[in-house]
Chains A and B, each alone.
Chain A
Amino acid sequence: MAEKLPDNVFLTTLDAAASWARKNSLWPMPFATACCGIELMATASSRFDLARFGAEVMRFSPRQCDLMIVAGRVVMKMLPVLQRIWMQMPEPKWCISMGACACTGGVFDTYAVVQGVDRFIPVDLYVPGCPPRPEQLIAALIEMQDIVQKTGTHNGREFGRRTTATGPIPIELDEIRRSREALPIVDLPIYNSPNLN
């Protein structure tokens, strides 16, 4: 069959073609809350030019995005918002956790800051640094393109493999000690997490 085709026609699988198109036109959703957000802005600026990778179309509506970049610390008041935005993004979708705070809570080991967004939403790539330089984010994006090319089409295999969450880890011993040291409050109702539905 290939002999009858003209030279400018390629044969491929739909899967590979779709993945190729997706990887070269990632539309990021910037979930930027802190200093990492400034680095994210710089990455999109002319100096670093995220447009080279087809990812310059930052969309502020989750309905139009396929790549969430969580840049900056996420507090417990903001986490339901993050989860809602993630749920609103159409599939296939990916997530980059950018910077120490988004990955682990960073230096903010306090009552309000979530200790890593990967405990509550799936994360594909982690960018270390505090904050990471734009080059690091670009490197992550190239890496992400690789992931998208390999597993881009939602064919069930890739998603079927990841059914377990990475978190949350139960309260560590140190936290149990601290809360025991604290004066007990009788009948303290524990914080009720908001219903996402």
Chain B
Amino acid sequence: MLDTAAFVARFNGSTSEFRDNRRAIVPAAKLSEAASALKTEFGFDMLVDVTAVDYLEYEGATDRFGVVYCLLNTTTGERVILKTFVNDPDPALPSVYSLWKGADWMEREVFDMFGIKFEGHPDLRRILMPDEFTAFPLRKDYPLKGRGERHNFPVITRAES
């Protein structure tokens, strides 16, 4: 069983807990170190999910983006949530692809939707939105209806088709 308090103390992090969900919050600079420790020392061999939260205009928030890694130890069934924060103007994190191959598409999705770059990712392209798309739709400052992208297509009329 991972002792989260002792674990985050190694990385100047903090911890919190909500209904058996244990979070280990570490600074972005210590993310690779913490992820690697969780994998090798504590046996969290499965990366269940990578996602992000935009804390723009969130009450009491000090950082713009939170990036969340949900980890699972498939031997013991133990779960932990590793979390870190990044900020504008150029949010970037080291990729955890070298630790968990499953990070490949998940990090691409976070990049596609939030514009957070993952350094060291082998193939950081858009995955959900079209390649030509320029915005990051899940950022809170992106309007729900977009900036007119959905209207921007050639029109085929009856006469020319």
Contact = CB atoms under 8 A, between A and B. Distances in A.
Interface of A: 76-77, 79-80, 83, 86-87, 93, 109-115, 119-122, 159-160, 162-165, 167-171, 174-175, 178-179, 181-183, 185, 188-194, 196
B153 A182 contact: no
Interface stretch (B7-15, B40-48, B130-138): B130-138
Q: Is the interface of A mostly helix, strand, loop or mixed?
A: loop
Given A121-B156, A164-B157, 6 more contacts: A86-B161, A111-B144, A111-B150, A162-B158, A175-B146, A179-B143
Interface of B: 129-130, 132-135, 137, 141-159, 161
A111 B133 CA distance: 11
Given A115-B150, A179-B148, A191 B133 contact: yes
Instruction: Tell me the dominant secondary structure on chain B's binding face.
Output: loop
A191 B134 contact: yes
B159 A83 contact: no
A120 B157 CA distance: 8
Given A192-B132, A194-B132, A171 B154 contact: no
B148 A80 contact: no
Contacts of A162: 157-159
Nearest to B150: A76
A57 B159 CA distance: 27
Given A115-B150, A191-B152, A76 B130 contact: yes
Contacts of B148: 171, 175, 179, 190-191
4 nearest A-B residue pairs (beta carbon): A111-B146, A162-B158, A178-B143, A191-B149
A65 to B, nearest CB: 14
A159 B146 CA distance: 34
